[in-house]
């Protein structure tokens, strides 16, 4: 049955005293069961418009939809009116079992942090390309609460990518005809990297060793309270976390992989001055600290330990680690907060007594409480914990083949290593490994050809 238009008076008058009219488009739709099959019954639907032209345009669309019978017009309107957040929920629910839970959690966090506050409550049909561009522009001028720096181009790209995948779900449900986030946008990275420089700085291994030494040393600073009295603030030495920093820069393991390492993963000889190995077989993350599978198949690997690091680990396991005989014990311990340490009967004034040897090291805690203060005290530029992995890669590439470095880093493909460290493979100074000499012009030919005279 085709749609009809009914003209009705609204009960209001215009400025000339004439009654205001409304044009109602009316049609009947089949009632469907939970599987989408028509039940034989129909329901009346309708929409009101202030002008006859708008009503005729809507009537044409309704008639077309009824003729094609792909989607009931009223249902299409309801789908278009649903907020973006509802499609986001459907999108995340549909990812279960298709990709790992870690990636789903990152997608969800990106949406909640960067997209939901602005576009989450909006009806999905109201989102236009201009809204996507505006969101991207706002993110580009947003300062990260954690790093106190502008969001990186990569972070913004991931946020827009999640928005695009959610809107793809709306397209698949026929709520919208096209995806406004699918348009090609100009690159942010090119402009921001050249004008503002790198967001983070990779430290050299010598600088990292200096940071580790600072963490392993006690520091006392004198200050003055508001009442004028002086006080001495003590930063206790923490050689365990200093060793964790050195271990990270020497092996290039990811933070979650460092947290997943156990005592039994190390293979060390009893002879000093000999090499060792560390097997990367799992990752762990706060707060559950349960073993999780690694990122790719190549992430399961065995990393060599140089003699100096193997000696440090032998000494650490023999003299410091309180559960070294347990192969399932975390390689590096977690740390009690003061209140938790007091509840557990630990000496809160003794930094060494606050270690929790049943729980893995918390990279974020070490980063905030030890790594960043060391950078500030030494006057080093800001650097992420993940940059220790880059420092390890660059240092190792100076002496080892890229194929071996790729395997030790756990990259999925050797091309990944070559793409990330292409500049380093050419040498860090930007020059050639074997510079050429100044080109010399060819020697002049001093032989003058004789011209024969004509006979």
Domain ranges of the chain: 4-80, 84-196, 205-425
Q: Which pLDDT score is estimated for 450?
A: 67
Domain 205-425 belongs to what topology?
hpI Integrase; Chain A (1.10.443)
pTM of the entire structure?
0.65
The tens digit of pLDDT for each residue in 187-219 reads 775 455 444 444 457 899 999 999 999 999 998
Q: Which pLDDT score is estimated for 242?
A: 95
Is pLDDT of 248 > 70?
Answer: yes
Q: Which pLDDT score is estimated for 202?
A: 83
Is pLDDT of 32 > 80?
Answer: no
Nearest to 298 by CA among 400, 396, 406: 406
Is pLDDT of 383 > 60?
Answer: yes
The tens digit of pLDDT for each residue in 121-162 reads 888 888 999 999 999 999 988 888 777 778 888 889 999 999
Q: Which pLDDT score is estimated for 315?
A: 96
Is pLDDT of 163 > 70?
Answer: yes
Confidence category of residue 221, pLDDT binned at 50, 70, 90:
confident
The residue that leads in pLDDT, 57 or 69, is 57
Q: Which pLDDT score is estimated for 343?
A: 85
Confidence category of residue 455, pLDDT binned at 50, 70, 90:
low
Section 25-54 average pLDDT: 78
175, 126 Cβ separation under 8 angstroms: no
353, 341 Cβ separation under 8 angstroms: yes
Q: Which pLDDT score is estimated for 198?
A: 46
Reported residue count of the chain is 455
Is pLDDT of 3 > 90?
Answer: no
Section 52-60 average pLDDT: 89
The tens digit of pLDDT for each residue in 266-287 reads 999 999 999 999 999 999 988 8
Q: Give the Cα separation of 179 and 129 in Å (integer).
A: 8
Q: Which pLDDT score is estimated for 195?
A: 46
Return the structure tokens found at 226.
């508001």
Section 90-100 average pLDDT: 85
Q: Which pLDDT score is estimated for 144?
A: 81
Q: Which pLDDT score is estimated for 101?
A: 80
Is pLDDT of 301 > 50?
Answer: yes
Q: What is the CATH number of domain 84-196?
A: 1.10.150.130
The residue that leads in pLDDT, 190 or 228, is 228
Section 400-418 average pLDDT: 92
Q: What average pLDDT does the chain have?
A: 85
Q: Give the Cα separation of 423 and 44 in Å (integer).
A: 67
The residue that leads in pLDDT, 348 or 401, is 401
């Amino acid at each position: 049955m085709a749609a009809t238009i009914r003209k009705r008076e609204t009960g209001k008058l215009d400025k000339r005293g004439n009654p205001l009219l409304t044009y109602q488009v009316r049609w009947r739709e089949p009632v469907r069961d939970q599987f989408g099959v028509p039940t034989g019954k129909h329901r009346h639907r309708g929409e009101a418009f202030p002008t006859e032209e708008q009503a005729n345009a809507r009537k044409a669309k309704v008639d077309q939809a009824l003729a094609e019978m792909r989607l009931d017009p009223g249902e299409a309107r309801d789908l278009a009116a649903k907020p973006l957040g509802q499609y986001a929920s459907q999108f995340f629910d549909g990812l279960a079992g298709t990709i790992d839970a870690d990636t789903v959690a990152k997608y969800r966090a990106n949406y909640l942090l960067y997209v939901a506050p602005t576009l989450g409550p909006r009806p999905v049909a109201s989102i236009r390309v201009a809204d996507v561009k505006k969101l991207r522009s706002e993110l580009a001028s947003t300062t990260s609460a954690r790093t106190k720096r502008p969001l990186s181009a990569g972070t913004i790209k991931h946020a827009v990518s999640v928005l695009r995948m959610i809107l793809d779900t709306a397209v698949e449900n026929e709520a919208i005809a096209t995806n406004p986030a699918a348009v090609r946008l100009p690159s942010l990275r090119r402009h921001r990297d050249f004008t503002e420089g790198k967001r983070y700085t990779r430290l050299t291994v010598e600088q990292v060793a200096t940071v580790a030494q600072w963490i392993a040393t006690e520091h006392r600073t004198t200050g003055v309270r508001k009442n004028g009295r002086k006080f001495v603030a003590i930063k206790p030495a923490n050689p365990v976390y200093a060793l964790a920093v050195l271990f990270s820069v020497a092996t290039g393991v990811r933070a979650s992989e460092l947290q997943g390492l156990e005592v039994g993963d190390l293979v060390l000889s009893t002879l000093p001055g000999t090499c060792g190995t560390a097997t990367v077989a799992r990752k762990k993350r706060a707060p559950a600290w349960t073993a999780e599978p690694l990122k790719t198949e190549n992430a399961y690997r065995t990393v060599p330990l140089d003699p100096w690091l193997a000696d440090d680990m032998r000494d650490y396991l023999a003299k410091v680690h309180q559960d070294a005989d347990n192969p399932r014990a975390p390689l590096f311990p977690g740390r009690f907060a003061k209140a938790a340490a007091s509840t557990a009967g630990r000496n809160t004034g003794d930094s060494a007594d606050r270690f929790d040897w049943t729980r893995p090291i918390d990279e974020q805690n070490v980063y905030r409480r030890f790594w960043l203060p060391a950078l500030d005290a030494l006057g080093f530029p800001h650097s992420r914990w993940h940059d220790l992995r880059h420092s390890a890669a660059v240092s190792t590439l100076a002496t080892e083949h890229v194929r071996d470095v790729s395997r030790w880093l756990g990259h999925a493909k050797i091309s990944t290593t070559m793409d990330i460290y292409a500049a380093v493979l050419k040498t860090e100074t930007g020059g050639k490994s074997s510079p050429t000499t100044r080109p010399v012009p060819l020697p002049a030919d001093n032989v003058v050809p004789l011209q024969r005279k004509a006979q």
